[in-house]
Structure 1
Amino acid sequence: MRGTFLNLTAAAALAMALSVSAAAAQKKYDPGATDTEIKVGQTVPLSGPASAYATIGKAQAAYMRMINEQGGINGRKINLIQYDDAYSPPKTVEQVRKLVESDEVLLTFQIIGTAPNAAVQKYLNVKKVPQLFAATGAAKFTDPKHYPWTMGFNPSYFVEGRIYGQYILKEHPNAKVGVLYQNDDLGKDYLNGLKAGLGDKAAKMIVAETSYELSEPTIDSQILRIRDAGADLIFSAATPKQAAQAIKKIAELGWHPVHILDINASSVGAVMKPAGLEASKGVISVGYVKDPADPSMKDDPGAQRYHAFMAK
């Protein structure tokens, strides 16, 4: 899965960052670090509407075990503590407080999701606990002036949205655009980026904007509104569950718009297969890492190491 491979890269970056910190450390450490251990905390949506992302946390836990089997970081073993937050911000707050105040982790690593990260950003910065590689591309996580203890990881959602806008102007200059977006910083950043890419043509080209809440069981009504507005191109700024629902509903309607999908929801395993591979044909998205499921990657050394790791 593309997202899993991406987050293994983040785990490798964590190992490098901790290695530098450990090398310079003295005998007195912050909570969560000793001569033998580095305690790291993470929340993962093991359940709930974004549970497709659970595979990221599982792969990262396996990667940490591999690092420990190889001797850890300068002799220190990584103790990764994971809690399920169901992609629910109030639950994220509860679990992160537990990680900081009870488990006394040195840092949080790759908390998954825009809304969950937003819910704990201020708290972690007040506590001066690193919010390392927050798994989101929302703009608010690259604000070192106000949140110096936060470091984002994903490429900018705004920039990605702008790329789609520029693509539409070039390839579909007469398109009537409908936008489906998640009603949080993820969806809003994508929407604003798309409008920036379309420039002064945005107001004329976008014929429908409709949002959804993560708690909604389906987004069928939103898809119908976009279709009924006369859109012939749809941009889904969504997470896996709703993206799969959108693909499936569009196919059921016999509607054939150009469909652009954000990278968070472009997984074959988590989105395309549940929606139906036939229905998913023609969906357009972007990528910025190697896809280990791509047959052209079968002889790539990095992909081969990935497959060996996953097999173990």
Structure 2
Amino acid sequence: MLSYQKLRIAALSTAVIAFAATSGSALAQKKYDTGATDKEIKIGNIMPYSGPASSYGQIGKTEAAYFKMINDQGGINGRMINFISYDDAYSPPKAVEQTRKLIESDEVLFIFNSLGTPSNTATQKYMNAKKVPQLFVATGASKWDEPKKFPWTMGWQPSYQVEAKIYAKYLMKEKPDAKIAVLYQNDDFGKDYLAGFKAGLGAKSSMIIAEESYEISEPTVDSHIVKLKSLNPDVVVSFTTPKFAAQTIKKIAELSWKPMQIVTNVSVSVGAVMKPAGFDAAEGVLSADYRKDGSDPQWKDDAGMKKWSAFIEKYMPGVDKSDNSLIYGYGAAQTMVKVLEMCGDDLTRANIMKQAASIQGFTPDTLLPGITISTSATDFAPIEQLRMMKFSNGKWDLFGDVIDASSTTH
């Protein structure tokens, strides 16, 4: 009898321990903050669907379509993505208003890939104070890679300063006696590029003979181009957004002027910049990139680009495949999905940032061969590699090796 009781107590104890263990692991597995449940992950986003930077709106549309595809495939660990994207017209005050709405009214889990340096700058302190991830922001400002100062903010694309240093190195090697004119947007975006460019030139900053700024509110930069031509530079570097990059290339051609031209990576879209500028006018323009080009036949048999193309045809039929916002939005969304998969059932804001800072060698379908995404607790710059390229016969031709600029940032 006693032995039977002992056995029964032992069995009960084992059952209690087993129950406690399974309950504990179940509790440990499922952790949620506001915006996440067993069935849903609520993601916020802000894009300039209107205003002077509206050509970037396709990024938000691509991300919405990508998340729809993920939902059609069963979601992430069974949870559907609820993607809420608002227009801020590239206006910082509007961005603040929409960010507050997303966090306080819509109660999103985090904000993903909101676009624009001025807009993200306006919301950065608020989001860090609220401890809400401001993740993979769609701007290359160097300030998104400051994990000690802003532990809830992380960039995605290569930083503007890193990119500008690459242009400076290229010019010092290929055109060491150049007289350089710089046209830049008079905000954090343009100033970040200019700072990186000057840092890259170092002691040779005297190569810059003109620095001309414009306001985002100006309808055209034509008068600035006329002024720069009068100074007779042989290189024009345009630290501009797409609308103004297209105007710059077009006006230079109209003036029958033929300086070497460099445009920013954010303004290399064939559809949004080169076509409006005119292919003849854009012939020979230089830039750098980390992404494949959706309109370039060299990628027709590339496995990643086949996936991208199938996605575009099914979820965004009729769009212009030469608009590289479709490439950008896909790559950023694919990275976000990767992080959410890494989170498992711990969908807390802290764990989302922890996983975002633990990516090693991830390669979205749309990145150039040899370019990967890696982060750490002290490195919030996911992509730090680029290749130089030249616009020729209606497309971008890559040249030279992949340049790893991580050594210049840390």
TM-score by length of 1: 0.90
Q: What's the CA shift string for 1:71-97, capped at 9, x where partnerless?
A: 111111000001011111111111111
Which residue does the alignment assign to 1:310?
312
Q: Please give the root-mean-square deviation of Cα atoms over the aligned residues, in Å.
A: 1.3
User: Structure 1 residues 24, 300: closer, same or farther in 2, change over 3 A?
Assistant: farther
CA shift for structure 1 position 159? 1.0
1:245 aligns with 2:247: yes
Structure 1 counterpart of 2:84, from 55, 61, 81:
81
Instruction: Describe how 1:99-138 pairs up with structure 2 within 5 A.
Output: 99-138=102-141
1:297 aligns with 2:293: no
Task: Provide the rounded CA distance (Å) in 2 between the counterparts of 1:259 and 1:253.
Answer: 14
Q: What's the CA shift string for 1:126-168, capped at 9, x where partnerless?
A: 1111001011111111111111100111101111101101110
CA shift for structure 1 position 28? 5.1
Q: What's the CA shift string for 1:167-206, capped at 9, x where partnerless?
A: 1011111111000111122211211111122221112x10
Task: Provide the rounded CA distance (Å) in 1 between the counterparts of 2:97 and 2:218.
Answer: 23
Task: Provide the rounded CA distance (Å) in 2 between the counterparts of 1:274 and 1:127.
Answer: 42
For 2:257, what is the secondary structure of its paired residue?
coil
Decide whether the 8 Å contact of 1:42 with 1:83 is kept in 2.
yes
Instruction: Describe how 1:179-218 pairs up with structure 2 within 5 A.
Output: 179-203=182-206, 205-218=207-220
Task: Provide the rounded CA distance (Å) in 1 between the counterparts of 2:57 and 2:242.
Answer: 12
1:270 aligns with 2:272: yes
After the TM superposition, list the runs of 4 or more consecutive aligned residues in structure 1 that deviate by more than 4 angstroms: 23-28
Structure 1 stretch displaced more, 79-88 or 221-230: 221-230
Give the letter for the 1:256 counterpart: K
CA shift for structure 1 position 278? 1.1
Task: Provide the rounded CA distance (Å) in 2 between the counterparts of 1:127 and 1:101.
Answer: 10
Give the letter for the 1:142 counterpart: D
For 2:74, what is the secondary structure of its paired residue?
coil
Task: Provide the rounded CA distance (Å) in 1 between the counterparts of 2:202 and 2:28.
Answer: 50
Task: Provide the rounded CA distance (Å) in 2 between the counterparts of 1:231 and 1:29.
Answer: 58
CA shift for structure 1 position 292? 2.1
Structure 1: give runs of 5+ residues left out of the alignment.
1-22
Q: What's the CA shift string for 1:30-77, capped at 9, x where partnerless?
A: 111111000000001111100110111111100000000111111110
CA shift for structure 1 position 105? 0.3
Which residue does the alignment assign to 1:281?
283
Structure 2: give runs of 5+ residues left out of the alignment.
1-25, 315-410
Which residue does the alignment assign to 1:6?
none
Task: Provide the rounded CA distance (Å) in 2 between the counterparts of 1:287 and 1:151.
Answer: 20
Decide whether the 8 Å contact of 1:32 with 1:39 is kept in 2.
yes
Give the letter for the 1:175 counterpart: A
User: Structure 1 residues 28, 166: closer, same or farther in 2, change over 3 A?
Assistant: closer
User: Structure 1 residues 84, 74: closer, same or farther in 2, change over 3 A?
Assistant: same
Decide whether the 8 Å contact of 1:134 with 1:151 is kept in 2.
yes
Decide whether the 8 Å contact of 1:207 with 1:230 is kept in 2.
no
Q: What's the CA shift string for 1:255-298, capped at 9, x where partnerless?
A: 11100011000110000001111111110001112222111111
Task: Provide the rounded CA distance (Å) in 2 between the counterparts of 1:27 and 1:303.
Answer: 35
Task: Provide the rounded CA distance (Å) in 1 between the counterparts of 2:27 and 2:227.
Answer: 58
For 1:286, what is the secondary structure of its paired residue?
strand
Task: Provide the rounded CA distance (Å) in 2 between the counterparts of 1:292 and 1:53.
Answer: 16
1:66 aligns with 2:74: no
For 2:32, what is the secondary structure of its paired residue?
coil
Give the letter for the 1:234 counterpart: V
Task: Provide the rounded CA distance (Å) in 2 between the counterparts of 1:51 and 1:166.
Answer: 32
Percent identical = 62
User: Structure 1 residues 119, 25: closer, same or farther in 2, change over 3 A?
Assistant: farther
Which residue does the alignment assign to 1:254?
256
Which residue does the alignment assign to 2:32?
29
Which residue does the alignment assign to 1:18?
none
CA shift for structure 1 position 29? 2.1
Give the letter for the 1:273 counterpart: K
TM-score by length of 2: 0.69
CA shift for structure 1 position 24? 9.0
Structure 1 stretch displaced more, 116-125 or 183-192: 183-192
Which residue does the alignment assign to 2:221?
219
